[in-house]
Amino acid sequence: MAAEATESDESTESTQSTSDAETPDWQDRYLRLAAEFDNFRKRSAREFGDVVRNAERELISDLTEVLDNLDRALKADHKGESVDDFARGFDLIREQFRSVLEKRGLKRMETVGEPFNPEAHDALMRMPSDEHEEGRIVQEVSPGYYLGERVLKHAKVIVSQGPVQTEDTNDEETNES
């Protein structure tokens, strides 16, 4: 029995010495892995920042073209030019501006006649309408926009509460009951 106890003690000691020798290796691997992950995280954040800055640069570059056209239009001598020609020039610049934004994913919402959606529309008021059923948008007060698939700006709208109720209509409904 004493011999078995001695063998057991020796095997435990050899296992402990083996694990003690492996411990610095595992610690070293852990520290290296943690440092690699930290470097990866910093590099990813830096690369993401570069992508955002490049996108901003492209957008601002495109917008400077619109700004230059506005400046040229304001500095031009408009004597003898009709108001229609002047307005047409500004309309062209507005279309250029809209094109720059649409190229970046901006899309104006279509609202009139559509069902009211509180995730995309802000209802300013309800009003009777013979043209639109209840819950449909009657009028757009301020446009809304999507950027990609997400709502960027809610449309401000007036929502139908259905046809106008007259006293004759109310009397007929009461008589039918």
Confidence of residue 155 (pLDDT cuts 50, 70, 90): very high
> Given 60, 85, 104, which residue is the final one in a domain?
104
- Mean pLDDT over residues 157-166, rounded? 87
**Whether residue 95 is found in the same domain as residue 111:** no
Per the structure, the count of domains in the chain is 2
Give me the count of residues in the chain.
177
- Mean pLDDT over residues 32-52, rounded? 91
Instruction: Tell whether 173 is covered by a domain.
Output: no
**Whether residue 68 is found in the same domain as residue 15:** yes
**Whether residue 63 is found in the same domain as residue 95:** yes
> Given 104, 121, 154, which residue is the final one in a domain?
104
**Whether residue 70 is found in the same domain as residue 130:** no
Instruction: Tell whether 80 is covered by a domain.
Output: yes
Q: The domain containing residue 121 runs over which residues?
A: 107-167
Confidence of residue 19 (pLDDT cuts 50, 70, 90): low
- Model pLDDT for residues 46-91, shown as the tens digit of each residue: 999 888 888 888 888 888 999 998 888 888 877 777 888 888 888 9
Instruction: Tell whether 176 is covered by a domain.
Output: no
**Whether residue 112 is found in the same domain as residue 83:** no
Closest to 159 measured CA to CA, from 131, 130, 125, 133: 125
- Model pLDDT for residues 137-150, shown as the tens digit of each residue: 999 999 999 999 99
d(CA 8, CA 177): 98
Please classify residue 126 by burial: count the beta carbons closer than 10 Å to its beta carbon, then call 0-12 exposed, 13-18 middle and 19+ buried: middle
Q: What was the pLDDT predicted at 72? A: 87
Q: What was the pLDDT predicted at 80? A: 76
Q: What was the pLDDT predicted at 17? A: 54
